[in-house]
Structure formats: C-alpha cells, structure tokens
Amino acid sequence: MMKCCFGVGRNKESAELCVKEAVKDFSDPKLIIFFSDEYDFCEYSRLIHSRFPNAVSIGCSTYRLWGTIGTEKNVLYAMAIEDGIEISADVIPKANEFALTYADRVKECVNKISDTKNTVCVEFTVPYKNYEEYALVVLNSVLLRKGIPIIGGTAANDNTSETGYVSLNGEVYTDGCVFMLIKNLGGAIRLYRENIYVPLTGRQFPTTKANSVSRTVMRLGEKTAAEVYAEELNVPISDIKKYFFYYPLGRRVGDETYLTAIYEVGANGSLKNFARIHEGTDISVMTVGDYKQITERTFEKIKRENPAPSLVMLFNCLARTILFESENAIEDYQKRLSEEFPNYIGFSCCGEQMGTKHFNHTALFAVFE
C-alpha cells in the first residue's frame, strides 16, 4: 500500500511560507509531485528540493489544480509518497534536438528499478514547443521493449501567455521533458483515457496532405482542411476560428479516436494543430457529447477494476477544464472525483500523452492499487 500525504499552500505573499504550508505534514518522502501556477513556480521548485534533497521532486505548471483537497487556481498543491514505491527520474532537456541521444538517460532510470513489473513512466513536457511527440519517441525507444507504459501531460499556465515550466529536483526547464519511473510495490498500475467528444456529423475525411512535423493539415479529401471544417459546421471559412475550442478534430487510429486541438488557419486553407496528424489518417470534426454520462461510466469502470486504489493521478485537459467552467460543472466534477478517489492529485494540462500518442481535449487517469 502506497503511503501518500497531500498539502496545499495558499500564501501569495511569500513563496517560502507557501511551501512551508504545503509540505508541513511531509516527513520522509521518496517522491514529491507538485503543481502550481507559473508565477512562483521556479521558487517553489527550489524551496521544495532544498527542504527534501533526498527525495525526487518533480513538478509542472498548470491552469487549475485538482486533488483530494479540492480544485483551485493560483495555489501550490503538493503530494508526497513516503512508502510503497521505487522511484527514478531524469530529464530530456531539448527533446527536439538529437532526441534519441537521450535514450541512455531512460535506460539508466530503468536500471535503477529492481524490475519493471507494476512500473509506469509519468512525464511532464513544456508547452508550445511541439516537443511532445519527440519526447515520446525517446521514452518509447527504451520503454516499449521493457513493457513500461507512459502517461503524461503538457504544462499549462493561466491561459494568458505561452509560458510553462517543468521541474526536476530544483531545476526548472523551459525546454524538454521531465520524467519519472514509479514502481508500485503494492500492486498493479492501470491507465485510463476518457473522451467526452463524439463526431459532429459522422462523416470521415482522409488526410491527403499534411506536414506532421509542423502539425499542419493542408487537405482533407479533395478540399482544403479549412473548407471541410467550415462545411461540417455550416459556417463561412472566415468564421471558423471562433469554433476551434468547441469542435476539435478526431483522428482515427484503428478502433480508437484521438482528439486534436486546432489553433490557427494557415496558408492556403490549412489548419495548424496542437498534435500531429499524419497523411492517410481519417479525420472527423468532433463535438461535446453527454459528458456527465460519459464521466460516470469512466468512474464506474475505474472503481470496478480498482475497488480501493492507493492513489489516482489525473491529467485533465485545459480545454475540458474551461468547458466545465463555462458549464458551471467544475464543483460537481470535483465532488465526484473526491467521492470515488479519496487519494488523488491532478492538473489541467495543455496536452495529454499515453503510450505512443499525443493528443488534446482528453482526461487521463493513472490508478495505483
């Protein structure tokens, strides 16, 4: 059984007092995970590491914090795991530059774990740099062969800038990805992905021209991506940007649909996205489904397969969070999370990663027995 301790710091006058408040119940942690807004993040990272230099401390900036203690903004949430795990961690400092040269760091982390059974890789990646897919390539170049699954999220902020941070052991990074391998000594680790979106019209369009590196889709079928998107929504092309937030793209991979957020109309009717879409991928325009019913089914499935989890980690997309805020559903969602998962912590992220895929508009759960 994992021994977890949770804390919150709300003191905005002093970063030192805020950290002191958040970690006051921590005794001898093996791992500290923390989330905060971006403004005092760097100081929080330094102070937490200086207080607990023997622990792995890893953090990520965020828009909204989630946890056993509620859901808030502009505060510091921290969790300590003091028993029941093995832990190793490292950083991929510039994930898009010679990414595979950092594979040895991943191998060294694996070698520090006694064995790979009941082990998961949790990673946090900086936003707005198109690093997520590169980081996944590095991690999976080692972890796929070891049978270690990956789950993670992209750092976020207060939604007014393109600043986001990740941290490992007191060092803050504005490039790359921090990651940790957590071995659960008390049981299994199960991962879940929740999609609350459904196809708008049911039509699918093959991606006939795309640049996956720049995350740009030029053509869907015989038409430009912007033309198809406008026709699906029955609006003029000149108006489509106002719909991007509510109607993401759904890319079909086998029997699964992965959501991709659009952020800009590019040259010649192309669409620029926050995740890669490859040529040959079938695309649908998506809309919000009955999210209350969908989230209840998710909770039921997780509890059925994990009746008494030691810990649940939530990666809840920024877009979902803002949607729930606009629907006045935040408090109800938090209440249900706390009812089902007495020990949980999470953050609102700019993107989500699981396995070999990076996507958006999604919630992920890492559930530890």
Tell me: the pLDDT tens digits for 67-81?
988 999 999 999 999
Regarding beta strands 262-265 and 271-273, do their DSSP bridges make them parallel or antiparallel, or are they unpaired? antiparallel
pLDDT at 99: 67
Q: Tell me the average confidence (pLDDT) per consecutive run of 10 residues in the chain, 369 residues long.
A: 94 96 97 96 98 98 95 97 98 78 94 97 96 95 97 90 92 95 97 98 97 97 98 97 97 95 97 97 98 97 97 97 96 96 96 98 98
Query: What sign has the CA pseudo-torsion 158, 159, 160, 162?
Result: positive
pLDDT value at residue 287: 98
Amino acid at residue number 92: I
Q: Which helix (H) or strand (E) holds 22?
A: helix 15-22
- This prediction has a pTM of 0.96
- CB atoms closer than 10 angstroms to residue 359: 27
Alpha carbon distance 213, 359 (integer Å): 14
Upper half-sphere CA count for residue 256 (Cβ side, 13 Å): 10
Question: 88 in helix, strand or coil?
Answer: strand
Nearest 10 degrees: CA dihedral of 191, 196, 202, 207?
Answer: -60
- Amino acid 131: pLDDT: 92
Q: Where are the domains of the chain?
A: 3-194+293-368, 197-288
The dihedral region occupied by 201, where left means phi > 0, alpha psi between -120 and 50, and beta the remainder, is: alpha
Find residue 89's DSSP bridge partners: 180
CB distance 59 to 34 below 8 Å: yes
- DSSP SS3 for 346: strand
Closest CA to 130 of 94, 105, 101, 102: 94
Which residues on adjacent β-strands are paired with residue 98? none
Rg of the chain, C-alpha, whole Å = 20
Model pLDDT for residues 245-267, shown as the tens digit of each residue: 999 999 999 999 999 999 999 99
Question: Which is nearest to 167 in space by CA: 58, 267, 248?
Answer: 58
Beta strands 311-317 and 344-349, pairing class: parallel
| Rounded Cα–Cα distance for residues 216 and 214 (Å) | 5
Instruction: Please name the amino acid found at residue 52.
Output: F
